[in-house]
Amino acid sequence: MMPKRIDRREFLRTAAPAVIAGPRLARTARTWTPAARTEPGSIDAPRLLTGCCAYSYRKLLGAGKITMEDVIRRAVDLGIDGVDMTGYWFKSTDPAYLASLRHLAFKQGVCFSGVAIRASTVQAEAGKRAQVLEEINKWVDVTESLGAPHLRVFAGKLPAGATAQQATEWTVDTLKSACEYAGKKGVTLGMEDHEGITQNADACLEIVHRVDSPFFGINLDITNFIPTVKADAYAQIEATVPYATHSHIRDRFENGQAVDLDRVWQIFARSNYKGFMSAEYEGEEDPSTGVPKLVDKIKALSRKYSSV
């Protein structure tokens, strides 16, 4: 017997309700918090991905007890979305080594959220600034070779005899040039609010606006801002999070005070941040046990406030 031919209009009429019902059912099955403001799946909803900085294992990496390959494998055990590959412990930047890291990550189902380097743009001598630019460009190439989208850089400490305005000028000039190169590779530069001239939200925002590149923003470390009379750390996080390209998460400030991580996640969610919340563990406990505890906090909060 020949199978009965199905009329196209009849098929669409009967199938449409089932097609539509599926996504609606999936949406209603998930609890959505007021802080997120929009439905999961919306382009305006936050996407808070769980990551971990290789720097979290600095004690073990520095002692030669583990390698960057081991960090990638540990990401699988942690059940995270990506690793921020701290360049301090790369064996080399040779193409073959970089290819091996990229291939291992692929085989383990791990992505690289970015790469982090020490390059500091606050240099009084023009020759040194040129060297820093060269170093950043070199690591842009490394980042591209790894298939990563982001490179963390520093501004740095104010040299003796220099003014904050001079340091800002040096930083803007260097990073403008660096972004021109990085943009051609599809790599975004994230300047961290690290020790030095960028530990204040206003300074970070001035640099971001003056560099004025779609391939530039702030690698937002939530514990590095110095509170002022007008703006505590949380207010400065809120001011800068719209420009965040990546984040580093610790659960204690430099003075030992606990970070209100739930409050921080609400700030990121209200801004509809889309990107990595990467654990940067610096506690006294062995990283093998300390890192998973911090990652678990990040996972729970990202599930609470994120569209994923």
**DSSP result, 162-208:** --HHHHHHHHHHHHHHHHHHHHHHT-EEEEE--SSTTSSHHHHHHHH
pLDDT-based confidence at residue 123 (cuts at 50, 70, 90): very high
pLDDT-based confidence at residue 276 (cuts at 50, 70, 90): very high
Spatial distance between the Cα atoms of 247 and 265, rounded to a whole number of angstroms: 11
* pLDDT score of 121: 96
Mean pLDDT, rounded, for 15-33: 33
Domains and CATH numbers, the chain: 44-305 (3.20.20.150)
What pLDDT, in 10s, does the model give residues 66-116?
999 999 999 999 999 999 999 999 999 999 999 999 999 999 999 999 999
* pLDDT score of 42: 54
* pLDDT score of 307: 74
- Whether the per-residue pLDDT at 192 is higher than 50: the answer is yes
Mean pLDDT, rounded, for 183-208: 97
* pLDDT score of 2: 41
Q: What is the mean pLDDT of the chain?
A: 88
Spatial distance between the Cα atoms of 33 and 303, rounded to a whole number of angstroms: 10
* Angle of helix 261-270 versus helix 233-240 axis, rounded to 10: 30
DSSP structure class, residue 51: E
Mean pLDDT, rounded, for 37-46: 61
Q: Which has more pLDDT, 289 or 2? A: 289
pLDDT-based confidence at residue 44 (cuts at 50, 70, 90): confident
Instruction: Give the residues across from 189 on adjacent strands.
Output: 151, 216
CB 301 within 8 A of CB 48: yes
- Whether the per-residue pLDDT at 18 is higher than 50: the answer is no
Mean pLDDT, rounded, for 18-37: 33
- Whether the per-residue pLDDT at 298 is higher than 60: the answer is yes
- Whether the per-residue pLDDT at 28 is higher than 60: the answer is no
- Whether the per-residue pLDDT at 59 is higher than 70: the answer is yes
Predicted TM-score of the model (pTM): 0.86
